[in-house]
Structure 1
Amino acid sequence: MGSENKERYQLVEADLKMFSRSGVRSKIMLILLEGGRTVGELEKITNTRSTTLLHSIKDLTDLDLVEKKHQVYSLTNIGRIQAVALEDLLNTIITINQHHKFWRYHDLSSIPLELQKSIGMLGSGEIMQDAPETPLKLWEDFINSLMTAKVIRSVTSIMIKGFVTAIPKAIESGVDVEIIVTNAVLEAISKWKDYINKDLKKENFKLFVIDDDVKISFTMTESYLVMGLANIDGSFDLGADVMYRGEKPVMWGTMFYDYYKRQSTRIFNLE
């Protein structure tokens, strides 16, 4: 630990231990994040004796994290901020633990640090890995789902055959499509420049190129996102992509896409 981080840790060491050494205090904070509760209500929710709860509540009150009004305990402004941070940490650990190998053995350099901090927004996902008797079925279902999407946003450093053929169909169907590609992918798709240039004249299709060495395959619609990361050695395998569904994953995906869009250049015509 560097000297600066050591000093910072020492400033909050007591606060961190307040949560790490007591599951009861952490549970109280997370429960009160949803709204005020009486001791009786906390006792039922946590299945903890009232004497233990009152001891923990006193600790939280002394730190000005919890306050009591008319027998109801609630978070102070400071308590709410810390509870939100605690919930974010909890969600991050859940997200990582669910697909430990995915996050452990893939290159995360293409995910900005600020978005790595909020990775808990992704929640529970599913690895797009097919059963041996139905190889690539999940990928086929994913590609087909693009046809019924309202919005498609993608950042990719690789070419996926089904994806390349599905996008023109989605554009033709009126789907709002924006794609960010690396220079290598732009060069590879230039062989279809006549077809692509026709699509670029349509209002519902925008193509961008980014100079950075992005190592990711990312596609998002209005309801889900699919993300594939390069292995540590730089290779990709389609059997390791993960899909996240819901409002929060899409919010995270929007921030991810916008991050790369700000660094990209729009392509109006392929030469």
Structure 2
Amino acid sequence: MTVIRTRPEISTEFRNVKYILTSSMRTMLLLAIYENSKNLDDLRKDLKKPSATILHGLKELETENLIKKVQKYYELTSNGYLLTTNMIKLIENWYAINKGKSFWDNHDISNIPEELIKNIYLLKDATYVNSTTSDLSNAYNKYKKLISDASELKMILPIYSENHFKLLIKLLKGKQLESLELIVSKRILQSIKKNNYFNKGLIKNEKVKITVVEKNLKVFLTCSDKFISLSLFFKDNHYDDSHILIGKDDKALDWASTLYNYYMG
């Protein structure tokens, strides 16, 4: 895991981050001119603050070489653009984590690579589906409906589940699902082979490609060209089938594709 190596480095970087984030005005100014340069009138309209307050914030940011004035317009310096880009990423990461707070907090995330943890903001538009005591199958039924409309599926499959296997075989026998890629552990593969129906329907099916990995899988990921779903294990190593993250935007699909390729090696 990448870390800042020394305490002085940590202290210096923390002061720099704190300088920006502890001032709402400095933060708002950087965000306001992130995409387009603006003059004082523009900033006064956008931020609804008096000129004196805005000018004070602009002067502070100019002193730190984060913005510059070109004629009457203020724009980010290269340093300012880099900092603001990463500040936006931090804010979006924070939003994504808080949006799915119980999902992330209650599960084992050790099998998700560090780079994808850093880019959790890509899942900020995802939704979370939970089963309830009155509807124990809610999450599975939503998942079942999702994959039933897919023509291609890629899955990291960490569990031996007869319900999932029967559903996949049913879809493969139909006309909709044209190809299925599975990443499984040796243990799961051996268990599938012991069941003649699953062995014939999955392992010996020409529509199915299976990749076996040495790693102990603790993520259940399903990808198509239209959606991704993710479910995880509890911290006691038991799989949780009652909570699913579902993403349908391009950013979520990219995040899931990176995770899938990570396990493909």
Q: TM-score, normalised by structure 2?
A: 0.87
Deviations 1:69-111 (A, max 9, x none): 2322221222111111101111111111112222122111100
d(CA) in 2 for partners of 1:23, 1:30: 10
SS of residue matched to 1:230 = strand
Q: Which amino acid aligns with 2:16?
A: D
Q: Does 1:185 align with 2:188?
A: yes
Q: How has the CA–CA distance of structure 1 residues 250 and 129 changed in structure 2, closer, same or farther, with 3 Å as cutoff?
A: same
2:257 to 236, 242, 254: 254
Task: Structure 1: state its 5+ residue gaps.
Answer: 263-271
Residues 179-258 of structure 1 mapped to structure 2, 5 A cutoff: 179-190=182-193, 191=195, 192-199=198-205, 201-202=206-207, 205-258=208-261
State the shift of 1:57 in Å: 1.4
Q: Which residue of 2 aligns with 1:265?
A: none
Q: Is the 8 A contact 1:25 1:56 kept in 2?
A: yes
Report the aligned-residue RMSD. Answer: 2.2
Shift of 1:207: 1.1
Once the two structures are superposed, what CA deviation does each residue of 1:144-189 show, in whole Å capped at 9, x if it has no partner? Answer: 3213224322112113444322323444534342211122221221
Q: CA deviation at 1:221?
A: 1.8
Counterpart of 2:110? 109
- Please report the TM-score for the alignment, with normalisation by the length of structure 1: 0.86
Q: Distance in 1 between matches of 2:136 and 2:130?
A: 8
In structure 1, give the amino acid aligned to 2:60.
D
Residue 95 of structure 1: SS of its match in structure 2? helix
Does residue 140 of structure 2 align to residue 153 of structure 1?
no
1:56 Cα deviation from its structure 2 partner: 1.2
Unaligned runs of 5+ in 2: none
Of all paired residues, the percent bearing the same amino acid is 22
How many aligned positions are there?
Answer: 258
